[in-house]
Structure 1
């Protein structure tokens, strides 16, 4: 058994300094050296971390950081002073042209290109191109919905794509329906359109949907009316704020079809047409061309009367919607004996000359001449009322009929 070292106790009366030194050496031997912080020499006692001492340490650390930041800033200044961006080289362009007019024109074009495109500048450009044509959009320059700055571009686009949505002649592929059945269907749809008080856009889109569908798919005769009422439902949903309910359409068919049949046919039509409903119909062009004609109420009603008569006739499908609309305006002006039948303004905005419209106008005039003999009276009754100036009672255009061949 190991023996412990006996440390003699301090004898009273001994020198207190000597005794204190002995005690400190003993404490140092116990292990205070191992408990010292790194960087503190052995045998030295750490100074207590008081508030004043802590503040002094923080101040010293801040001074070091400030000195480092100053050195970095000085280095960056030297770097910026050494690396300077190269001076921009200026290229002098010398234009050699003996023609002073060309120089003046170039300066004028450069100055005008910096100008902001305004409504006035657009109208001036159009007026130069249209020479003596009237500005039909001047009254709508403050109407944002009229989009007068873009309307010419819009109608140019419509004329480019109208053939894509134009129905092809299809009766040769239909085995159970004929032209007369189509006319009966359109006449019935005109009557339903009036009863529901729908917009003109709905009627034209309905006929467009029917013809496009029939040009793609063969249907039996018993489903022709179902096709018509389903097309009317689709067009109403597209154009109207409050479209008719399916039950209302079942009622107008005298319960020939059920609601489910109409909805199934609606889905079939949309799938066949690939949901392509945004098309420039004849009414889109009618709105523009009637405006170009500067019409009175009687002439406007006459144009719509002739256009809807054309909807009923199968042979009208061979003409483009824009040509049908322009021909309706031309034929209406001939019926009402306008002094200038086809003005430069109409030719500019429609894009058709009087000669180009003659074939289509002859067809419309012929249909008009036979309307009194027809048993299909929906369009005739619609435009025989005083609210539409009773234009159905006006005699057909003799100037056009004089050279109309019998179809």
Structure 2
């Protein structure tokens, strides 16, 4: 489906009567996961098959993984378009701080700098889709503080890697099915990528803090996580009725509201969790990449949400760094730039274990039975 057709579809849905909208949702692709979860089976378990590469791979897995450790000219054999022109690196110009000065000469210079900044930011000829130079400089000025704040909080808001041991009725395979379904719902409602990442963080943290969630309530828990994330992140979040319809009316609106209340109580209303997506965007702001590299990095970052083991063992910032490296190497045969080593404190040696796991997941993605995230990135946009 192309972008314009999607827009027309969304516009028509907004103008239709509520009853018609319900019928449309009910006629859409069945997304309820309860039947699949009750079977407790997932054919073609991706990581259970090891690091199986796609059918098009022309080199062995061992040689491909060895490529990740060095800037080799050999290819990872991923079929992507040729990289477009690399976006200009972010400006490193120094910005005069806006402090109070006592002598008149310094005040005059300060006012002149302010006038220049205002002139730059209000230029009518500037493309609205491109941040101004002054905005870019200000972003870089605070990037270090933002990064440190996120790194501190990612420890605080991190789920337990082995939390499913507290839920005898839930398996790893069930969670894979559930996350894939959440990705489809996010695509259906045209939610932001950050909303999906937050929802999965809420889901994992909630299940880390309680025990013995029944299989029949798992989809309700996931839906409540999406509701809360959408309210937190989206400008116009979907209505509760729409979330009820997307589960094929498996749960009532009252049940969803009660689960939302339980969620917020367990999480202590701590919703500003750093995600892989937020770190990845920060890294790409510090060291710009071409559009192909950006989209590939976002894709593999989304793929990492599917698997608890091993990705919950790594911090979100580490997975984001690995996603950046994998995409950068695939498109440009470069890995982790010196600017990001200095900015993040991560060396290539520290990133390599996570990078290897992420590559194995990426190489096997095409052969997986669940394709919700791959479908999301098949859009030409």
Pairing partner for 1:318 from 306, 313, 322:
313
Pairing partner for 2:356 from 342, 346, 362:
362
Moved more, 223-232 or 375-384: 375-384
* Superposition deviation, residue 291 in structure 1: 2.2
Counterpart of 2:192 in structure 1 is 199
In the alignment, the residues of structure 2 paired with residue 113 and residue 324 of structure 1 have an alpha-carbon distance, to the nearest angstrom, of 48
- Flag structure 2 segments of 5+ consecutive residues without an equivalent: 1-100, 111-130
| CA deviation vs aligned residue, 1:155-184 (integer Å, no higher than 9, x gap) | 112112210001112022111101110110
Moved more, 143-152 or 260-269: 143-152
In the alignment, the residues of structure 2 paired with residue 287 and residue 113 of structure 1 have an alpha-carbon distance, to the nearest angstrom, of 39
The alignment of Structure 1 onto Structure 2 pairs a total of residues equal to 256
- Flag structure 1 segments of 5+ consecutive residues without an equivalent: 1-111, 119-138, 388-407
Counterpart of 1:399 in structure 2 is none
* Superposition deviation, residue 146 in structure 1: 5.1
In the alignment, the residues of structure 2 paired with residue 142 and residue 151 of structure 1 have an alpha-carbon distance, to the nearest angstrom, of 14
In the alignment, the residues of structure 1 paired with residue 288 and residue 274 of structure 2 have an alpha-carbon distance, to the nearest angstrom, of 22
* Superposition deviation, residue 319 in structure 1: 0.4
Pairing partner for 2:174 from 181, 194, 203:
181
Distance 1:113 1:352, change over 3 A: farther
| CA deviation vs aligned residue, 1:14-72 (integer Å, no higher than 9, x gap) | xxxxxxxxxxxxxxxxxxxxxxxxxxxxxxxxxxxxxxxxxxxxxxxxxxxxxxxxxxx
Report 1:322-333 matches (<5 A): 322-333=317-328
| CA deviation vs aligned residue, 1:180-229 (integer Å, no higher than 9, x gap) | 10110100010110111111111110000000001011211111100111
- Residue 224 (structure 1) aligned with residue 200 (structure 2): no
Counterpart of 1:212 in structure 2 is 205
In the alignment, the residues of structure 2 paired with residue 367 and residue 149 of structure 1 have an alpha-carbon distance, to the nearest angstrom, of 36
Report 1:1-400 matches (<5 A): 141-143=133-135, 147-169=139-161, 170-218=163-211, 219-315=213-309, 316-336=311-331, 338-387=332-381
In the alignment, the residues of structure 1 paired with residue 279 and residue 234 of structure 2 have an alpha-carbon distance, to the nearest angstrom, of 19
* Superposition deviation, residue 351 in structure 1: 2.1
Match of 1:143, SS? helix
Computed over aligned residues only, the root mean square deviation of the Cα atoms, in angstroms, reads 2.3
In the alignment, the residues of structure 2 paired with residue 152 and residue 351 of structure 1 have an alpha-carbon distance, to the nearest angstrom, of 11
TM-score, normalised to structure 1, is 0.60
In the alignment, the residues of structure 2 paired with residue 246 and residue 145 of structure 1 have an alpha-carbon distance, to the nearest angstrom, of 40
* Superposition deviation, residue 334 in structure 1: 2.0
In the alignment, the residues of structure 1 paired with residue 334 and residue 215 of structure 2 have an alpha-carbon distance, to the nearest angstrom, of 46
Distance 1:145 1:188, change over 3 A: farther
In the alignment, the residues of structure 1 paired with residue 168 and residue 132 of structure 2 have an alpha-carbon distance, to the nearest angstrom, of 50
In the alignment, the residues of structure 1 paired with residue 171 and residue 233 of structure 2 have an alpha-carbon distance, to the nearest angstrom, of 29
In the alignment, the residues of structure 2 paired with residue 145 and residue 236 of structure 1 have an alpha-carbon distance, to the nearest angstrom, of 30
- The higher-RCO structure (CA 8 Å, 6+ apart) is 2
Counterpart of 2:30 in structure 1 is none
Contact 2:140 2:286 in 1 (8 A): no
In the alignment, the residues of structure 2 paired with residue 340 and residue 272 of structure 1 have an alpha-carbon distance, to the nearest angstrom, of 43
* Superposition deviation, residue 147 in structure 1: 4.2
